[in-house]
């Protein structure tokens, strides 16, 4: 599928899908990479070393630092696929060298948990 490149790079790994938007500051532990928001569908899951798929980011502007901290603590996703890229996620990925792409709704919905994909955020493709 073709995707829009927001932050360039390439990564290969297993998909982890979130149904709800992600609030990085309140919702994710910046050291462990575990989802700590009890109301989130990924509660208790480790978001590191996966291709994280979620609709968009919400909440505090400092969430961008959470993304940077995840990278620093080796708990960051390998790449991120969004439906709508928000400023917090885009800037956090840019500073942390995490490839970020935006997919069309139909393509986005076709991504399944556990599926192995290659995010090519240079050519703008997911294989």
Partner 1 sequence: MELTKEEESALDGKHGETLALAYRILVAIGEATNADKLIPVEWAHLSGVNYNTIGDAGEEFLSHLSKDAKFRIKTTVNPMGFDSDNVSKFHLDEEFVTKQQSIRNSYVKMGATPSFSCIPYEIFELPKNGTQVSFAESNAAIYANSISALKTNKESAFSALASALTGKSPHSDLRDEENRKPNLTIRMKTEPADEITYGLLGYFAGKEAGSSVAISGTKGLDRRSCKSLCAGMGTSGSCGMFTLGEEEGEKIDFDYKEMARVKDELNTSESGDIITLGSPQLGLEEISDLVAKLKGRSFRKQCMIFCPRAIQGQIRNLGYDKELTRAGGEILYDCCTCLTPLVDKENIDAVVTNSVKGAYYLKTSNGVDVNLKSLHQIVEEETK
Catalytic residues: 60
* Rounded least distance, CB 127 to partner 1, Å: 21
Length of the chain: 127
Report if residue 77 touches partner 1, rule: CB under 8 A.
no
Candidate list 56, 83, 115, 125; residue touching partner 1; CB under 8 A: 56
Q: CA 110, CA 92: separation in Å to the nearest integer?
A: 26
Site map for partner 1, 78-97, x if CB under 8 A? -------xxxxxxxxxxx--
CA distance 58 to 114: 25
Residue with Cβ nearer partner 1 (14 or 87): 87
Q: Least CB distance from residue 46 to partner 1, whole Å?
A: 18
CB 44 within 8 A of CB 63: no
The distance in angstroms from the start CA to the end CA of the chain is 7
Q: Select from 6, 12, 102 the least CA-distant residue to 53.
A: 102
Interface residues with partner 1 (CB under 8 A) are 4-7, 25-27, 30-31, 36-37, 56-66, 68-69, 71-73, 85-95, 100, 102
């Amino acid at each position: 599928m073709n995707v829009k490149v927001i932050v360039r790079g390439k990564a290969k790994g297993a998909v982890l899908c979130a149904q709800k938007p992600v609030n990085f500051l309140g919702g994710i532990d910046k050291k462990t990479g575990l989802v700590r928001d009890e109301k989130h569908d990924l509660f208790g899951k480790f978001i590191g070393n996966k291709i994280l798929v979620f609709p968009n980011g919400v909440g505090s502007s400092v969430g961008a630092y959470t993304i940077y901290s995840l990278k620093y603590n080796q708990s960051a996703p390998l790449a991120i696929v969004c439906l709508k890229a928000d400023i917090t996620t885009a800037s956090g990925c840019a500073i942390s060298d995490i490839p970020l792409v935006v997919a069309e709704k139909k393509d986005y919905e076709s991504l399944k948990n556990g599926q192995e994909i290659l995010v090519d955020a240079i050519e703008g493709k997911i294989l």
